Amino acid sequence: MVFDSIDILVWALVAFAAALVGVPAAARLAIRTGFVDAPGGRKDHAGLVPPVGGLVVFPVFVAVLFASGLIDSAFLYFIAGLAVIVFAGAMDDRFAISPRWKFVAQFIAAFLIVIGGGARVGSLGNLFGFGDVWLGWMDIPFSVVATVLLINAINLIDGLDGLAGGKSFVAFAWLLVACLLGGAHDAAVQVAVLMAALAGFLAYNMRHPLRARAAVFLGDSGSMALGLALAWFCITLAKPDTAVIQPISIAWILALPIIDTCAQFARRVAQGRHPFSADRNHFHHHFVNAGVSVGWTMAALCLIGIGMGAVGIGGMVLGVPEPVLSYAWIAMLLTHIYISLRPRRFRRLAAWALRCIRGEKAAD
């Protein structure tokens, strides 16, 4: 076990160092070639920011894993899917391609990991207390659709400095805990390497005392690839024959991006709009609109993600019945949708929370 832990740490440090060096080098090259994200429209950042995060994190991730020798034939399909997604995202970052072409790339990547890589959701577990929910012939279409939805869920929360990367880092951290608890050494190394490469990027993307704003962005290449990576690890780690985590625990780990995406879709449809139409009424926007700084908003949402993941993993470790976790998750989803149908409800809640933090009295 000690040797395994050292093995994980060594490869993670290699990935972190490579990303830490690679991000500024890629950013300089991007600026020289005009590959930058300019402010305007819904983009209110200052200056020209290179969206090179995904173009560094995932090549580093793949290169380090090839060096480690922890890549099998199934994993190669995942790498192929990443290549498709990163390429499509980079084209969108550079040329703003049509959304339909991004969807095509997302479905190609999903089919690669599901059919080629065998990342199929065979069972949802004992969600409702009547026995395991087996998908049967629906496992392939369900897995493909779930993958595409998760890709878009992570892409949609990429609206604040450090948010998509930070939230994904928290999710991967809980998956790493599950790997360590379940003795899945190879998967633990893979997840740790991706976390380390992502951490190297976040050093330049996340706001902190040494950085007032992001120097680089993930770009669509990075946010969509993070969604694909989460789908791959969540599905493969929960496969019935080799599971180290329950499906409902995964639902808790991914709760925030999933429930917020569902709520936004419900609100837009209720307003007679296309579910993928853009606006500024996501969960994180409510905090900013209430006066919370970007840095503290990102920190708060990551803490919420940590808490939700603790429910999922802690419930599994403590033997909490799956139906209890399931019904609690559904109640949280429905509550979130109800409040999101009127964005002002969330703004009032966020403003109230901010007043409490500042020690101010609520207005009469």
Is residue 23 within 8 A of residue 218, CB to CB? The reply is: no
Residues 6+ apart with CB under 8 A from 248: 124, 125, 127, 312, 315, 322, 325, 326, 329
Report whether 220 belongs to an annotated binding site. yes
* Secondary structure of residue 135 in the 3-state scheme: coil
**Which residue shows structure tokens 């996501």?**
282
| Dihedral sign computed on CA atoms, order 187, 188, 191, 192 | negative
* Secondary structure of residue 61 in the 3-state scheme: helix
Amino acid at 32: R
| Dihedral sign computed on CA atoms, order 236, 241, 242, 243 | positive
| Cα distance between residue 87 and residue 102, in whole Å | 10
Report whether 260 belongs to an annotated binding site. no
Distance of CA 89 to the CA centre of its chain: 15
Is residue 221 within 8 A of residue 89, CB to CB? The reply is: yes
Distances (CA, A) of 350 to 105, 289, 304: 37, 9, 14
- What backbone torsions phi and psi does residue 43 show, to the nearest 5 degrees? -90, 110
| Cα distance between residue 307 and residue 173, in whole Å | 12
- Report residue 61 as tokens: 């991730």
| Cα distance between residue 66 and residue 83, in whole Å | 15
| Cα distance between residue 227 and residue 216, in whole Å | 19
**Which residue shows structure tokens 């020289």?**
32
Reading phi first (left if > 0) and then psi (alpha if -120 to 50, else beta), residue 130 is in alpha
Is residue 258 within 8 A of residue 335, CB to CB? The reply is: no
Is residue 42 within 8 A of residue 278, CB to CB? The reply is: yes
Known binding positions: 155, 220
Known binding positions for Mg(2+): 155, 220
